[in-house]
Amino acid sequence: MSGMSPAQALEQWLVARLPGEAAAWLKDSAQRLRGSDGDKNLYMSVSLVPRKIGKADLALSAAELGQATAARPGWDPREWSLDQAARVYLLLAAGSDGATFSRRLDQLCATADVGELVAFYRGLPLYPDQRRHVLRAAEGVRTNMKAVFQAVAHRNPYPSEQLAEPAWNQMVLKALFIGASLDPIVGLDRRANPALARMLCDYAHERWAAGRPVSPELWRCVGPHARGDMLADLGRVLEKGTGPERAAAALALSSSPDPAASGLLWAYPELSVAVSDHKISWQAIANPA
């Protein structure tokens, strides 16, 4: 099936999974929202979602994930739950222009519980007038609640499309700070930049000075822009790091355009071969067995 909008896709997936009564409630609520411009209905139905629909995993099939990408490039709802899908669906059903949508979203976020915040931020790539929600996304990145942060940062194309470089760099650094993985960040490699590489190396030095471990994923965004001292840092990891750290340093060096990087890597033939044979990947480093 092709040509579905995100809202149509959400409705189809939800209706296929919900018992009759819950599906009917959802469709009725959406219908009411389409017909009215009162905010109160929206606030109430969005709040009621978990009571009506539950919080089980949405658990999309591969074909349905394909529908998601077709409906909105980069959209990856594989980790969504039923309540999150239903809440975003209701927001989209209420429709409206970007300004009204954004005002309602601010209102909803101001009185949201944790589950609602996660749903609203996961929905970012689907909202009208995408540029309007940059401050909202930045607010989500500022949170101290890991689940909310990850709703913005993980499997969400919005940050890489809309965040300016300083905000992007803060998001990546914050992911490391709070122990969130980098691998699920959409556009991580594409948006690597020299300023971020420097920030990450500084952070690694802080951690080393404090005798604390450094996530091997950190080096992924350093490699493509590694120069001078940064190469020396990678050399240090190659020499002294744990297994996963050395694998990460080797991968990072292989992504550097600097000829000196190749020189460093060749000093470790086993790692060199593992890299060229694709035996090491950032996905595997992010998800150790």
Partner 1 sequence: MRFIDPHIHMSARTTDDYERMAAAGIVAIVEPAFWLGQPRTQVGSYIDYMSSLVGWERFRAAQFGIRHYCTIGLNSKEANNEALAEQVLEVLPRYLMKEGVVAVGEIGYDDQTPVEDKYYRAQLSLAREFDMLVQVHTPHRDKKSGTTRSMDVAIEMGMDPGRVVIDHNNEETVQEVLDRGFWAAFTIYPHTKMGNERMVEIARKYGSDHIFIDSSADWGVSDPLAVPKTARLMLERGITAGDVEAICYGNALKAFGQSGQMKEEHWLDPAPVDQRMLFEGNSVLRGQAPRVGEPPAVARHSDATVFK
Which residues form the interface with partner 1 (CB under 8 A)?
43-44, 47-48, 50-51, 55-57, 79, 81, 110-118, 144-145, 147, 179
Question: What is the smallest separation between the CB atom of 118 and partner 1, expressed in angstroms?
Answer: 6
Least CB distance to partner 1 at residue 93 (A): 19
The Cα–Cα gap between 251 and 281 comes to 8
Least distance (Å) from partner 1 to the CB of residue 13?
16
Gap between the Cα atoms of 242 and 2, Å rounded: 47
The one-letter amino acid code at 249 reads: A
* Distance (Å, whole) CA 254 – CA 261: 7
Smallest distance, partner 1 to C-beta of residue 144, A: 7
Instruction: Burial-class residue 35 by CB neighbours within 10 Å (0-12, 13-18, 19+).
Output: exposed
- Min dist. Cβ of residue 20 to partner 1 (A): 21
For the CB of residue 112, give the shortest distance to partner 1 in the complex, in Å: 7
Q: Which residues contact 145 (CB under 8 A, 6 or more apart)?
A: 114, 117
Among 225, 275, 282, 216, CA closest to 250: 275
CB of residue 149 to partner 1, shortest distance in Å: 11
Nearest to partner 1 of 142, 240 (CB atom): 142
Cα 30–chain centre separation: 27
Cα–Cα distance measured from residue 99 to residue 239, given in angstroms and rounded to the nearest whole number: 54
Cβ atoms of 109 and 117 within 8 Å: the answer is yes
Minimum CB separation of residue 79 from partner 1 in Å reads 8
Q: Is 285 exposed, middle or buried (0-12, 13-18, 19+ CB in 10 A)?
A: buried
